[in-house]
Structure 1
């Protein structure tokens, strides 16, 4: 039986490359040779835990990693239509019947091959042209997360928007906001290189919150307004939290004008130190954004069209032979922004 290499969780903070049987597609399936796969904060979450809880006395089970794959179709089942050997595809990790790919399901995208169960174009996979590099195509899944966040914001071209966190999701949201026609988008972070990237992908202004008063700078950039009590506040219409820190949440509560919106896309770190009374003073609308109910393949054509802009989100391209180093980079604070693992021809 042919085998392949696949990455799975090991002890807490570590991965291991294991040799497993290569999947055999059934009549309704397809087999994809992976050419690139991104590493996500969710992967890091599983790594810190050492796998996924089983629910039995806190025991952990290992899981196959990788939910941001792009690759090339090498086998197609007899019942599959609209898909051919040689097609380049991105994958919907939530479309697998055996569970979310790379997030607890039976399959992982950080493997040499990936089985696409019930392969249906537009549902489980989308085809992209050979003009798009595989590493940029691997951004499809996180950019769908960012797109859903922007869709949830319902930002108008006339709105003034601030994005907290210049990681891949925050930068992706910045790109989508600008493509949506939003005239003023400001990005806040504490890492200078991230802020440079934010400007490069289209942000109109950036704020280093470790050096600057965020509220004062937003007032300069967005003008002055007021909260429900008439207290002066920046004229920011939409706040997007792609950072997940309690400090960000409280900055928004202290800065929000009357009827501003806060879209929460980052996983929040637990904190009891949140001033919920600030929501009353601004009648702030809190909007949660989870995943990509419809956006997973809505973004694909636009990534193709604007690939040079999206390519700037990738800070490191690491060959699969050095996959342990790729995960080490991702787990080291400040060492990398977006790491994509590439697979040799």
Structure 2
């Protein structure tokens, strides 16, 4: 079978490997779609994922069809369509340093268990949409970290896949008004298409003034005027986002950091003391990997809009290049015959 590997710094290749052997507690999934993540480009740049030696298999956003079921596995049958938790493999994370990656024809799922390692999805759900399950779980965890209440006013910075996934999640959870902020017009168009109440192009508009016009005003803990936003969601990872929130957050607003900030960001605690801002960090998906599956099933048309590029597996290496080129794509998905 074919598997995409990082074979050295800046080098990827499609490598022939033996087909997986299914044990009594395992299943084998024929991969039908796999998303490309920004981390895939990072692993390629550094030549793999230390401390693993040798080539590193890529791909951790899969959806597929069960083609083999071990004798001791319950609740799964050949032909089932599934999404996969890449964190569940006892040997190491799928596509993130473990011995397997999901950019492959067939993927062995060790110790397979419904609700822990896989979730069954409807057969009419397109595999390319189902392959958004893993990154959307990341977005969903960030939303959960903010403990949203019905009616909350939300501002999301960054209209990439994570930010847009968060916009859908906040709608699911009853947010009263969701604004999405970005500098790319096509991304803001997508935000409106998936149901955001308003968008702001931060390259052209005064962000704080527009938020004030849309969310009204609040105060900090001593009555000084602030913006009326309840929750800020950072999916952009740029210092200007933090500066805007620090200067504008009302009393006991919440800021969640989901994006990776590549440089240190200074914080003026004196500036935010009177706001009693709740600052939370968000990484991964401790419980959300299959919680988000139901949202994808229910909102498949919205999630479909997040996909900007589709490549057949024969062009998987080109898909990796496009996904790693800044500004070239939003969400890239590789599909299999």
State if a TM-score over 0.5 links the two structures.
yes
Aligned position for 1:243: 236
Aligned position for 1:194: 187
Aligned position for 1:18: 15
* Alignment partners' CA distance in 1, 2:208 and 2:77: 54
Q: How big is the shift at 1:219?
A: 0.7
Structure 1 unaligned residues grouped into runs of 5+: none
Aligned position for 1:325: 318
Aligned position for 1:35: 32
RMSD: 1.5
Aligned position for 1:111: 104
Aligned position for 1:215: 208
Q: How big is the shift at 1:229?
A: 4.6
Contact preservation (8 Å) 1:160, 1:237:
yes
Q: How has the CA–CA distance of structure 1 residues 224 and 48 changed in structure 2, closer, same or farther, with 3 Å as cutoff?
A: same
Aligned position for 1:341: 334
Any idea what the Cα deviations from partners look like across 1:151-192, whole Å, max 9, x if unmatched? Answer: 111111221100011111110000010111112000011111
* Alignment partners' CA distance in 1, 2:55 and 2:263: 25
Aligned position for 1:282: 275
Aligned position for 2:62: 69
Contact preservation (8 Å) 1:215, 1:255:
yes
Q: TM-score, normalised by structure 2?
A: 0.96
- The count of residues paired between Structure 1 and Structure 2 equals 337
Moved more, 246-255 or 9-18: 9-18
Aligned position for 2:125: 132
Q: TM-score, normalised by structure 1?
A: 0.94
Structure 2 unaligned residues grouped into runs of 5+: none
Aligned position for 1:153: 146
Superposition misfits of 4+ residues, deviation over 6 angstroms = none
Contact preservation (8 Å) 1:187, 1:198:
yes
Moved more, 105-114 or 230-239: 230-239
Any idea what the Cα deviations from partners look like across 1:65-116, whole Å, max 9, x if unmatched? Answer: 1110001111111111111111111000011101111111111011111000
Q: How big is the shift at 1:326?
A: 0.5
SS at structure 1 position matched to 2:22: coil
Q: How has the CA–CA distance of structure 1 residues 191 and 76 changed in structure 2, closer, same or farther, with 3 Å as cutoff?
A: same
Selected match of 2:155 from 143, 154, 162: 162
Q: How has the CA–CA distance of structure 1 residues 251 and 11 changed in structure 2, closer, same or farther, with 3 Å as cutoff?
A: farther
1:172 and 2:168 are equivalent in the alignment: no
Any idea what the Cα deviations from partners look like across 1:286-339, whole Å, max 9, x if unmatched? Answer: 111121111111222331121111111101111110111111111111110000
* Alignment partners' CA distance in 2, 1:337 and 1:160: 26
Any idea what the Cα deviations from partners look like across 1:124-171, whole Å, max 9, x if unmatched? Answer: 111111110100000111111111111111111221100011111110
Q: How big is the shift at 1:276?
A: 4.0
Q: How has the CA–CA distance of structure 1 residues 225 and 16 changed in structure 2, closer, same or farther, with 3 Å as cutoff?
A: same
Aligned position for 1:267: 260
SS at structure 1 position matched to 2:200: strand
